[in-house]
Amino acid sequence: MAKKPGNFDAIVLQNKLLQEQNISLRSQNELLRQAAFAIKGDKGKQNERSGQSSLIDKKDEREIFIDDIYHDEMREGFLVTSHRKKLWNVQIGILQEFARICKKHDIRWFTIGGTLLGAVRHKGFIPWDDDVDVIMFRPDYEKFKSVVEEELTYNPHYSMWYWFNHRLESDSEAAQHANSDLPFISRAYANKYAGLSPFFPLLRLVDERTTCYLNEERKSIFYAIWIDIFCFDPCPPFEDRTLLNNFNMAQELFLATIYPEKVKEALENKEKFLIPRDKMMTFLNLPFKTRAQQFDLFSLKHYTKTPYVSEMAYQTIRKRKRAYRAKSFDDVIYLPFEKIEVPVPADYDAVLTDDFGDWHKIVVASGHLNTFSADIPYREYFAKSKVKE
């Protein structure tokens, strides 16, 4: 009698079949696009697009989510280059993988910030924007973290970076996730740009086949193209004193995670904390990664539905405090975003007003990214690049 496959074997087989099915569907879609071009009689464009798509499929099997991706265009008086469109296309590809995982595990998420504004106002990217922001409430955020690594074992192109790190060589305790060799910025650089928090509590789902780095960071710090995944926690005002105490303790753990030296100094100066001194000293002596995990676990344990929610960073280390009415996220609707649809809070007007004020007014801004490539893996780029600080 044949051995009955275990659950893991069945899952591996199922995912292999799904991958083969997706490849087959992409091939069918390409044939349909080619047929459509032929019917229109646009043979030159057909050959160009077919050749480009074939190259993409052979290299990394990318699906196309951006109209006319190989040509520049003007949007809202802003020049959107083919180069930028390719960046957007990678980001939507990452977003699709993120959405797949969330749908499979019944995880609620929303677009937020500039991505939400783009969906509502532009039906896609804000022309001068170059990132994707999504957000989840704490229970869904932790659930996503618990399943994402196994899900990504079936997709070698993507990986997770945890708690974005701003430091480099001299901080021996700044341990990034084991699957990432992301380097860190030096203390000299951190001192020069003291306004940057050394760590930031977010997840980044990245495409390892790409390269980019940020304007404000030194050029030898490399990244792959990503999407940002943020987390909502309860924030003031609270009706219950216990909730306020839990929030204040979460703030103390957060500060002890990102600024351990400052918290140690405060303890030496006999400043008062809600967390007992001995427990705080034990916490401060943990490696960074463990402190970050403990903060997340504390926040999950004490999570309660409240009238207002926010990202902890905006309640603790950012100059501008930002909060949203939780009821704005009670219901979800889907809006067009380039060639896909994305979930947005049904009361998106309240969310955008909380975030931007008069969000109907168009204000052109500079993007975050300085150099990026949708074609060159970041390890290859920085191994060959002659760009220095």
Residue 313's pLDDT is 87
Q: Which residues contact 48 (CB under 8 A, 6 or more apart)?
A: 70
- CA pair distance 377, 124, nearest whole angstrom: 26
Cis link prior to 237 (omega < 30° from 0)?
yes
- Residue ranges in the chain whose pLDDT is less than 70: 1-60, 164-200, 214-222, 368-370, 387-389
- Residue 287 neighbours by CB distance under 10 Å: 12
Residue 24's pLDDT is 58
Domain boundaries, given as residue ranges, for the chain:
8-107, 108-233+308-389, 236-305
Do residues 122 and 361 lie in contact, with contact meaning Cβ atoms separated by under 8 Å?
no
Structure tokens at 40: 């229109």
Residue 315's pLDDT is 86
Place of tokens 């783009």: 118
Q: What digits encode the pLDDT tens for the residues 240-259?
A: 999 999 999 999 999 998 88
Q: Characterize 223-261 residue by residue with b for buried, 16 or more Cβ atoms within 10 angstroms of its Cβ, and e for exposed.
A: bbbbbbbbbbbbbeebeeeebeebbebbbbbbbbbbbbe
- CA pair distance 310, 120, nearest whole angstrom: 21
- CA pair distance 70, 1, nearest whole angstrom: 56
pTM exceeds 0.75, yes or no: yes
Residue 277's pLDDT is 94
- CA pair distance 241, 224, nearest whole angstrom: 43
Tell me which amino acid residue 296 is: D
Residue 102's pLDDT is 98
